[in-house]
A and B are shown apart, each in its own frame.
Chain A
Amino acid sequence: MTVSAVEAQIAEWRGFVARDSVLAADEVEELEAHLREQIAELEAAGLAADEAFLVAVKRMGSIDAVSREFAREHSGRLWKQLVLAGGAPATRTSNGMVAALAFAVAAAVSVLLARLATGFPEEESTWLVRNAGLLVLPFLAGFFAYRRRLPARRWLVAAVPFVLAAGVVNLYPFDAGGSTELLVAAHLPVVLWFALAHPYTGGDLRSHERRMDFVRFTGEWFIYYVLLALGGGVLMGLTSLILEPMGADVAERIIEWVVPSGAAGAVVVAAWLVESKQRVVENMAPVLTMVFTPLFAVMLAGAAIVYVATGIMGDFDRELLGAFDALLVVVLGLVLYGLSAREPAAPPGWMDRIQLVAVACALVLDGMVLASMLARIGELGFTPNRAAALGLNLVLLVNLAGAAWLSARFLTAGAGVNRLERWQTGYLPVFAVWAAAVVVVLPPLFAFA
């Protein structure tokens, strides 16, 4: 056996290993270097070249097993492969599509029926706003439960939060249009979204990696949903232009009938796209994070400087408060997303520093907002809105403070980024509990006003 024949065998082996998309290029190179050293040593011990190759490959072990082990280590890649909890093989895209469409249509129909039942098109009831999450998200949960082939017992577990939420939201005697009802309408989808984590992860909620997958999924779902919404907007805009000759209200009617159901169906379709078109967004989401983290850092730094220099002028009105909460949520999103898209083993880089700047500025701003809010509450007392805003602010403040501390330690002391990730995934239940508290505890506290 000639040298070139062994080279050809090694090349073939490398091609086989590289075809398995879990392994990164330098991991393949590392394995190949190992194989070559092993072959060289066996040849030195007197084996023929082809024998040495065979023995070395055998000692390397099953590439499937090795790449599974690598994938477990880099759960982002496991997710890329769509090898879902329990190591079940990925569902084929084609039947995935049929199921996704079925669940999407079911969500759309459920919204339509609910609207008709509450008097559409004559009136729009606040019952719908309050129940919006319950009309759509159970179908997404069902889609995941079906896709993950959950056993019947787990389907029941997955259904529990939805049933409880339905009970709370509909048995509480809300004042129609009151602030507790609006708060419930805003927080219920968040609670139910966290409830999705159970079917999404196949019930494996304790695992840090699966939780990170869920975070990743949420970010990418959001991107897909925005894209679908933009496309839907273009479609509706063109429709109304084309139908204009038939009278302006024809187009309006159609939009009125179609848009809410379309938005409901898109929730499921976006989730399915995230699962099956991984690679497209995979290149997009980290890019978006890279682009927007520095921009937000600049904006936050500017705002922090202005606020610190001038103090907060006048009263903090509700809109500004809402804007701050939204800002903190966005910062948290950038941190979480940057973290989940990060190569875990990479050393600290400039992105980590920029992220720390953004978080630190957000903390300064939030501290000032909190102080002003507390002053206002001390003066005027609690309202449902102030209680909810204060709570959200505190929950976010603690999270960002922990994140800032751990990422500063990561940058200075060389502590693993791992701790930061675990802090974030460990904190997720706090958000869920807070949102649930707003839905369940807050309305009775304020007499459903």
Chain B
Amino acid sequence: MRIEKDLVAASATPLVLGILADGENYGYGILKRVRDLSDGQLEWTDGMLYPLLHRLQRLGYVTTEWRTPPEGRRRRYYAITDAGRSALAEHQRQWAAVAQTLANLWDGSGPLPAVGRA
């Protein structure tokens, strides 16, 4: 199953903020987490992560610095700020409301009609 592009885009901000809420991370590390978490169903174009990170930085949701970990290569690390945490909380509320709405709808009407059973 491939998740539709609009849905991927809409979930990108809460995903990144949520991953950073677990601890600071760098671009490639964030993408790996997304892949693991979604079992590869959420496909990102890798490059697009970086403009998003810069946008979050401009909004004051994340801070960033270049660091070289011992025995590693130089990386740009991102960490979530308090403003980022409250933005994340707001995203969580909204997504929960959306998920709840869909669940109410689909639970009420019994099992989903299977594809091709017309």
Contacts and interface: CB of A to CB of B under 8 A. Distances in A.
Interface of A: 26-27, 29-31, 33-34, 36-38, 59-63, 65-66, 69-70, 72-74, 344-345, 414-416, 418
Given A30-B27, A38-B46, A414 B81 contact: yes
Nearest to A416: B60
Interface string B16-38: 00000000001110010000000
Contact of A65 (B47, B58, B76): B47
Given A65-B47, A66-B47, A33 B28 contact: yes
Interface in B40-87: 45-48, 50-52, 54-55, 57-60, 64, 66, 73-76, 81, 83
B46 A73 contact: no
Contacts of B76: 26, 30, 33
A33 B47 CA distance: 12
Interface residues of B, number: 25
A331 B1 CA distance: 57
Given A34-B27, A59-B45, A345-B57, A66 B75 contact: no
B66 A26 contact: yes
Given A30-B27, A345-B64, A414-B81, 11 more contacts: A27-B50, A30-B76, A33-B75, A34-B50, A59-B45, A61-B46, A61-B48, A63-B47, A65-B45, A69-B51, A415-B83
B79 to A, nearest CB: 13
A418 B59 contact: yes
Given A26-B76, A66-B48, A345 B28 contact: no
Given A33-B76, A34-B27, A65 B48 contact: yes
A142 B104 CA distance: 56
20 contacts: A26-B66, A26-B76, A31-B50, A33-B75, A34-B27, A34-B31, A34-B47, A36-B73, A38-B46, A60-B46, A61-B45, A61-B46, A61-B48, A65-B47, A65-B48, A69-B51, A70-B50, A414-B60, A416-B59, A416-B83
Given A26-B76, A37-B28, A416-B58, A59 B50 contact: no
B62 to A, nearest CB: 10
Contacts of B83: 415-416
B55 A73 contact: yes
Given A414-B60, A414-B81, A69 B28 contact: no
B64 to A, nearest CB: 8
A74 B54 contact: yes
- Top 3 nearest A-B pairs by Cβ distance? A61-B45, A416-B60, A66-B47
A380 to B, nearest CB: 49
Nearest to B45: A61
Given A37-B28, A74-B54, A31 B60 contact: no
B45 A60 contact: yes
B100 to A, nearest CB: 31
Nearest to B53: A30
B51 A72 contact: yes
Nearest to B26: A33
Contacts of A418: 58-60
Nearest to B43: A59
A34 B46 contact: yes
A30 B30 CA distance: 13
B47 A61 contact: yes
Given A26-B76, A33-B73, A73 B45 contact: no
Nearest to B74: A33
A74 B54 CA distance: 9
A33 B73 CA distance: 8
A69 B52 CA distance: 8
A195 to B, nearest CB: 30
Nearest to B66: A26
Contacts of B52: 69
A121 to B, nearest CB: 56
Nearest to A69: B51
Contacts of B81: 414
A234 to B, nearest CB: 43
Given A30-B27, A33-B74, A73 B47 contact: no
A415 B58 contact: no
A26 B83 CA distance: 25
A66 B51 contact: yes
A263 B50 CA distance: 46
A66 B50 contact: yes
